[in-house]
């Protein structure tokens, strides 16, 4: 009887062991370890101060306000990085996400200013629809130009980056436009938290990361994105709608930029054509550091979020430890180079391992 139980349990143990090996070998696990180590280092080196209200000693980094603020800072471009990662998985690139963010926020602020007095619910709903709608339209425009003109996505999105920000500059007349307080009440809702903590951007980032992970790994459309980026010719022979896939990933990138724009403009209370200037670097860096391969076929929504969080922690460490903030760009640039080098090295090792396995199989046959 015990022998039968042992035999029946063997496949289950094997599956658990295989899942554990896959988890330990995944890019996301490595990022979690790096983020955890950096967090521990910040906690150890940040120092502490006395709380004026309670008189208790509080760590300068490991406290609710700093943690939530760090996650909030990461959320605005982590959300965009989720959409941009899908573009990168397909073998493309999107340099226009920051400009889409700016145009979406400016358009929303102008529409709400011209609309006049509305109820709080109607104002919030209108703001969300306008912001997300503009972002989606800009993303579709990018996809149509890439597919229709058959020009490299780098060139197309470099052009739309300037065009879209220029439109935002012209329509806003370079002014910072205030958004209604109803939007700020939505984005800065405490949701039961105390001490001036505003978790909405952080929770939105987590929710979109989960949705992005499900979309990429559990849906046919997500698998098509990986297939398109991994092997274009095979995807063509398989009969996949290649143009539709490309337009779809750019539309999702624009959609996430629109969502980030709504959260950012509402959180800070205004929108301008200069918003998200330079976010392209942070977004692409988050995706690449998160494991997305610039040649396509590899990446994840969870990795994009973790990459964004790692970059924000690097920025936070520079500020917390009172280093010169000019080094921020140097450190992020080095992180991108290191991530790409590690990705290429990992790809070569995997290819060599597969080749040896194939040769061993042929020799055994």
Residue 165's pLDDT is 96
pLDDT mean over 70-74: 90
Tokens 């996505």 identify what position? 153
The answer to whether residue 185 scores a pLDDT higher than 80 is yes
Distance (Å, whole) CA 23 – CA 264: 34
Contact predicate 107/131, CB 8 Å: yes
Q: Which phi and psi angles does 345 have, rounded to 5°?
A: -60, -45
**CA separation for the pair 290, 329 (Å, rounded):** 18
List the domain boundaries for the chain. Answer: 31-43+60-364
Percent of the chain's residues with pLDDT above 70: 90
Write down the pTM of the prediction: 0.88
pLDDT bin (cut points 50, 70, 90) of residue 13 is low
- The span from the CA of 51 to the CA of 53, in Å, is 6
Structure confidence by residue, pLDDT tens digits, 114-144: 987 788 899 999 999 999 999 999 999 999 9
- The phi, psi pair for 176, rounded to 5°, reads -90, 120
User: In this predicted structure, what is the pLDDT of residue 21?
Assistant: 57
pLDDT (tens digit, 9 = 90+) per residue, 306-333? 999 988 988 888 877 777 777 777 877 8
Q: Write the Ramachandran bin of 241: left for phi over 0, alpha for psi from -120 to 50, otherwise beta.
A: beta
pLDDT digits (tens, 9 = 90+) for 262-293: 999 999 999 999 999 988 888 998 998 888 98
How confident is residue 23, by pLDDT bands cut at 50, 70 and 90?
Answer: low
Tell me the C-alpha distance between 253 and 279, whole Å. Answer: 13
Lowest mean pLDDT among 17-21, 45-49, 336-340: 17-21
In 3D space, the residue among 109, 156, 158 whose CA is nearest the CA of residue 134 turns out to be 109
31-43+60-364: what fold? ABC transporter involved in vitamin B12 uptake, BtuC (1.10.3470)
């Amino acid at each position: 009887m015990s022998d039968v139980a042992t035999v029946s349990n063997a496949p289950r143990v094997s599956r658990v062991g295989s899942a554990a090996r896959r988890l330990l070998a995944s890019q996301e696990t490595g990022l979690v370890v790096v983020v955890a180590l950096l967090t521990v280092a910040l906690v150890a080196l940040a120092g502490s101060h006395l709380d004026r209200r309670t008189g208790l000693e509080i760590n300068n980094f490991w406290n609710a306000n700093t943690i939530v603020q760090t996650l909030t800072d990461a959320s605005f471009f982590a959300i965009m990085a989720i959409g941009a990662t899908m573009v990168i998985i397909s073998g493309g690139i999107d340099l226009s996400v920051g400009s889409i963010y700016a145009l979406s926020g400016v358009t929303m602020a102008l529409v709400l200013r011209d609309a006049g007095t509305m109820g709080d619910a109607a104002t919030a709903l209108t703001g969300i629809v306008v912001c997300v709608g503009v972002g989606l339209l800009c993303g579709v425009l990018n996809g149509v130009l890439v597919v229709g003109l058959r020009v490299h996505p780098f060139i197309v999105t470099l052009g739309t980056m300037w065009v879209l920000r220029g439109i935002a500059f012209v329509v806003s007349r370079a002014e910072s436009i205030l958004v209604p307080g109803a939007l700020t009440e939505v984005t800065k809702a405490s949701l039961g938290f105390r001490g001036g903590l505003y978790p909405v951007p952080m929770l939105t980032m987590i929710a979109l990361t989960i949705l992005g992970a499900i979309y990429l790994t559990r849906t046919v459309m997500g698998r098509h994105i990986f297939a398109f980026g991994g092997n274009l010719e095979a995807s063509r022979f398989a009969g996949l709608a290649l143009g539709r896939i490309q337009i779809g990933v750019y539309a999702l990138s624009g959609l996430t930029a629109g969502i980030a724009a709504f959260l950012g403009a509402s959180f800070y209370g205004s929108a301008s054509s200069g918003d998200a200037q330079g976010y392209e670097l942070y977004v692409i860096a988050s995706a690449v550091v998160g494991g997305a391969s610039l040649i396509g076929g590899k990446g994840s929504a969870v990795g994009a979020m973790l990459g964004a969080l790692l970059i924000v922690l690097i920025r936070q460490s520079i500020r917390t430890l009172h280093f010169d903030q000019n080094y921020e760009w140097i450190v992020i640039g080095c992180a991108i180079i290191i991530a790409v080098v590690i990705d290429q090295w990992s790809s070569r090792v995997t290819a060599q391992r597969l080749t040896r396995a194939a040769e061993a199989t042929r020799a055994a046959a």
